[in-house]
Amino acid sequence: MPAPSTGPDNPLALVVQSSGENQGPVLRSFDHSVPPPITRLALSWSRGNTLRVSLFRQRLPTSSESSADSAIAFAANDGKVGGRVVELKVSNGGSEIDDALWRRISYGSASPFALLQNRKNSVLALSKVPIASLSNVEWWEYVMEYSKEIGSLLGDSKQFPSSMIDDPRRILKDVKESTGLKAGWELIEIFYADKLSQAWLPERLVDWLADYDCIFSQTLTTIHSKLVDIQNELIVFQATEDNPKYWEGISSALAVGWLDIVVKLLRLHGSYLPDQIGLREIENGLVEAVAILISKMPRLRPKLVAAQLGDCYKNKPDFSAAREKWRGQLTKLECSSFWIQCGHNQTREGLRNLIRIMLGDIDSLSASTYNWPEFYISQLLFVRPFTVGMEGMYNLAQKCIQLKPVSRLHSLLGMLIGILGENTEVVLAECSRVFGPWMVAHAIELLTAGSDQSQFILQEERHNLGGLTIEELNRIVYAQVLASHPLTWQLAPIYLISCAKLGMGFMEMLLYRQPVQHYQGLLKNLEFCRLYDLDHVNSSIMKIAGMHHWKHGRKGFAIFWLQQAQDHVCLNKIAQQLFDFVGKSVSCESFKQWEGLIELLGSNAKTAGGLDFLHKYRDFKKFLQQVHDGKTNDAARQAVESLVKLMKNPSTPQRFWLPLLHDSVKLLMWSDGPLLNVSQTNLLLNKLQELSVAKLRPDYVEADLPPQALSSVRLALATNLGRAILEE
């Protein structure tokens, strides 16, 4: 599958951007390996949004050029390729995830998406009010269930950083490759979907940064990158407390709330070594006192996960009281006389810096963090833990950005600013630009669930989009990406069905453009048509299949599919072709073959006028064959009945009257007695009379019969009539 794209690789991404400013086209080159010159290009859209470009070396001769000129030009190209078709994925793969993983994500996310849509439809059907206005707790649970399921597809939840038991000098866990996609998804989940997290947003952000700070290391200096350096040094060097980087690492980790790392690092302090007992007791006591205070830090959150440290408080009053008490302990420790007795300068200053950080000293926090998100988190943790409301969080973020600007804005940070600024369009545009159509199509479910304003923006019909909503547009864009690959196109209907306006139109086009030559694929395609009541496309597909088989000599298959398509025009034309066999000798070898075709054409004569005749003619011919094979009088009698039926039937074409009668000469002169009564014979004679009148008309078609056919029929009829009169 062409992976949902990232960045400027995805032209469709910008469809969803609200900005009217022209940022200029993205220029990309593609290699075609055709020797120059290229004289002409041709374009064709393939599946979904794959573009095929034909490159030609040969120039079309102009009308003034002679054929000799053309021949010379042609000879000049001899021995080289004449050009090539190159397939361009206009929505290119994400740089961090390969195609196979994208397919897994695509398949994995389709079912939670469909389930959520079903639930949404049933809730709407029951309540008749917009989803966002529902105070239904159950609905939030559904959205979270969806979000968690999608989140789990994007990678395992990472507990970074965390302490390791086996090696005390390894402070960072080897994390699996973190994806920006997962980080982005979680960010949206925190702010839009998880209603329960609204009360402790700052702590949710602390956890989020702990998981994904490593992603920013690719473009920025981060605490994570610094800790990686320190860890590498710790493995080599002893006497850690003499190393300034050790104290920098501890204070940085503390500033962003990675308490378990801080405590682990503190316990690597040299004063804990067995050979130091009796020498550095005060120093060791201070280190341990700080470590205890850190591990007892009050936190406004319902619970801690894994190795996280601190004391949890679910409500603000309890938290506030505990925090005051804790800060009192910090202040008391800061003023303690034990610091004078601490002989190790770096330890004394390092520990006091940690206390200042915990007391919310801005300078210390600023010095310990490397970019605005880290600084922002440190402020939320130690300075303004009671920050509530998006406005407050946004204003704080703005201040942090001013104080610690980053040289290159990471895409996730752009998204975070958009979220804090409550600007749905920016969030969506960033989402689309960075993560592509998959992310947008799925994240909109969270955005619309979490905010009335977002819901309004995303579900408002837009005239400029031909009546589409942004929500629907993004589903269609994603469906087009899915349609680009034979292994994923079947997922596209799941997203199209949830686009009330234009989804079905797109689905019709998608299904119509699937190849019909392969039986399994054809059946699958028809199954979709049935599922979504697309009768018109259904019959088009069956007609295409029928015609393909007809032209390729598989007439039985062809008739089957044309009947399924109820294509009466074609079926009648086929019946017309079978007429050509009428009047041929009964011993004709093709009898069996066309008899089979008539059988296939079925007995539903009303659907096709010509078929009625053919069926009766088939029966007649069968009985006649039996007569010729020497079968009994019964066969002859049945043959005559069929003949009379045929001649009475108005759908029997006039041009076949004489051949039919000519075939029946033997029956008319049946040795065991007349098979036709007087009125039946008169009927046939009348037909013969009509035929002689018709002969005078210019459009009369002469049957391909021996010249004496007419006279032999007339004689046979006269014989039969005479004998019938005698018998009656």
Partner 1 sequence: MSKSVATFDHGTLCSEWNYCAQRLATGSINGILAIFDALDPDSSSFNCSNRTKVHDGSIAKVVWIPPEFGDAVACILDNGALSLWEEVAQDGQSPHWKLCKCFQMKSRRVLDIQFGFSSTSLKLVAAYSDGYVRVYELQDPLELANWQLQAEFQNVIDSVSKFGKASCSSASVSWIPQRTNNQLLSFVLGYNSNIAQLNSSKVWEFDQAHQRWLPVAELASPGDNGDQVYAVAWAPNIGRPYEIVAVASQKGIALWHVALHPEVDGRLPVEKVTLLSCHEEEVWQMEWDMSGMTLATTGSDGLVRLWQSNLNGVWHEEAVFQPTSST
Count the neighbouring beta carbons within 10 Å of the beta carbon of residue 4.
30
Please pick, from the candidates 550, 656, 657, 670, the single residue that binds partner 1 as defined by CB under 8 A. Answer: 550
Q: Note whether 536 binds partner 1 by CB under 8 A.
A: yes
Burial environment of residue 466 by CB neighbours within 10 A (0 to 12, 13 to 18, 19 or more): exposed
Q: Select 401 or 447, whichever has its Cβ closest to partner 1.
A: 447
The amino acid that residue 544 corresponds to is I
Give me the phi and psi of 41, to 5 degrees please. -125, 150
Owner of token pair 């980053």: 406
Q: Select 11 or 360, whichever has its Cβ closest to partner 1.
A: 11
Q: Note whether 540 binds partner 1 by CB under 8 A.
A: yes
Mark the segment that binds partner 1 (CB under 8 A) among 259-267, 283-291, 475-483, 708-716.
Answer: 475-483
Please pick, from the candidates 140, 272, 339, 512, the single residue that binds partner 1 as defined by CB under 8 A. Answer: 512
Separation between Cα atoms, residue 200 and residue 189, nearest integer Å: 14
Burial environment of residue 146 by CB neighbours within 10 A (0 to 12, 13 to 18, 19 or more): buried
Instruction: Write down the least CB distance from residue 610 to partner 1, Å.
Output: 13
Q: Note whether 532 binds partner 1 by CB under 8 A.
A: no
Structure tokens at 231: 């860890």
Mark the segment that binds partner 1 (CB under 8 A) among 364-372, 432-440, 448-456, 496-504.
Answer: 496-504
Please pick, from the candidates 205, 322, 534, 658, the single residue that binds partner 1 as defined by CB under 8 A. Answer: 534
| CB < 8 Å & 24+ apart, contacts of 378-384 | 378/255, 378/256, 378/257, 380/202, 380/205, 380/206, 381/202, 381/206, 381/255, 381/256, 381/257, 382/255, 382/357, 382/358, 384/202
Q: Select 23 or 585, whichever has its Cβ closest to partner 1.
A: 23
Closest CA to 295 of 164, 169, 163, 158: 163
Task: Looking at residues 427 to 456 of the shown chain, list those that interact with partner 1 (rule: CB under 8 A).
Answer: none
Q: Note whether 597 binds partner 1 by CB under 8 A.
A: no
Task: Looking at residues 82 to 101 of the shown chain, list those that interact with partner 1 (rule: CB under 8 A).
Answer: 82-90, 92
Please pick, from the candidates 333, 426, 444, 537, the single residue that binds partner 1 as defined by CB under 8 A. Answer: 537
Mark the segment that binds partner 1 (CB under 8 A) among 242-250, 284-292, 320-328, 535-543.
Answer: 535-543
Q: Note whether 476 binds partner 1 by CB under 8 A.
A: yes
**How many residues can be counted in the chain?**
728
Count the residues of the shown chain that bind partner 1, applying the rule CB under 8 A.
111
Instruction: Write down the least CB distance from residue 74 to partner 1, Å.
Output: 5
Mark the segment that binds partner 1 (CB under 8 A) among 36-44, 215-223, 348-356, 656-664.
Answer: 36-44
Q: Select 27 or 137, whichever has its Cβ closest to partner 1.
A: 27
Separation between Cα atoms, residue 548 and residue 542, nearest integer Å: 10
Torsion, CA 433, CA 437, CA 439, CA 442, rounded to 10: 140
Q: Select 263 or 601, whichever has its Cβ closest to partner 1.
A: 601
Q: Note whether 492 binds partner 1 by CB under 8 A.
A: no
CB 353 within 8 A of CB 247: yes
Q: Select 399 or 555, whichever has its Cβ closest to partner 1.
A: 555
Separation between Cα atoms, residue 399 and residue 387, nearest integer Å: 14
Q: Note whether 524 binds partner 1 by CB under 8 A.
A: no
Whether the bond into 161 is cis, omega within 30 of 0? yes
Residue 152, CA atoms < 13 Å, CB-side half-sphere: 7
Please pick, from the candidates 509, 531, 701, 718, the single residue that binds partner 1 as defined by CB under 8 A. Answer: 509
CB 684 within 8 A of CB 717: yes
Task: Looking at residues 306 to 335 of the shown chain, list those that interact with partner 1 (rule: CB under 8 A).
Answer: none
Q: Note whether 228 binds partner 1 by CB under 8 A.
A: no
Q: Select 567 or 612, whichever has its Cβ closest to partner 1.
A: 567
Please pick, from the candidates 201, 510, 660, 713, the single residue that binds partner 1 as defined by CB under 8 A. Answer: 510
Instruction: Write down the least CB distance from residue 60 to partner 1, Å.
Output: 5
Separation between Cα atoms, residue 424 and residue 415, nearest integer Å: 10
CA torsion sign for 124, 130, 132, 137 is negative
Please pick, from the candidates 204, 269, 410, 543, the single residue that binds partner 1 as defined by CB under 8 A. Answer: 543
Instruction: Write down the least CB distance from residue 542 to partner 1, Å.
Output: 10
Task: Looking at residues 158 to 187 of the shown chain, list those that interact with partner 1 (rule: CB under 8 A).
Answer: none
Give me the phi and psi of 502, to 5 degrees please. -115, 0
Please pick, from the candidates 239, 277, 292, 487, the single residue that binds partner 1 as defined by CB under 8 A. Answer: 487
Task: Looking at residues 52 to 71 of the shown chain, list those that interact with partner 1 (rule: CB under 8 A).
Answer: 52-58, 60-61, 67, 70
Please pick, from the candidates 1, 6, 9, 227, the single residue that binds partner 1 as defined by CB under 8 A. Answer: 9
Q: Note whether 296 binds partner 1 by CB under 8 A.
A: no
Q: Coil, strand, or helix at residue 59?
A: coil
Separation between Cα atoms, residue 316 and residue 358, nearest integer Å: 19
Please pick, from the candidates 103, 327, 573, 666, the single residue that binds partner 1 as defined by CB under 8 A. Answer: 573
Q: Note whether 566 binds partner 1 by CB under 8 A.
A: no
Give me the phi and psi of 311, to 5 degrees please. -105, 125
Q: Note whether 387 binds partner 1 by CB under 8 A.
A: no
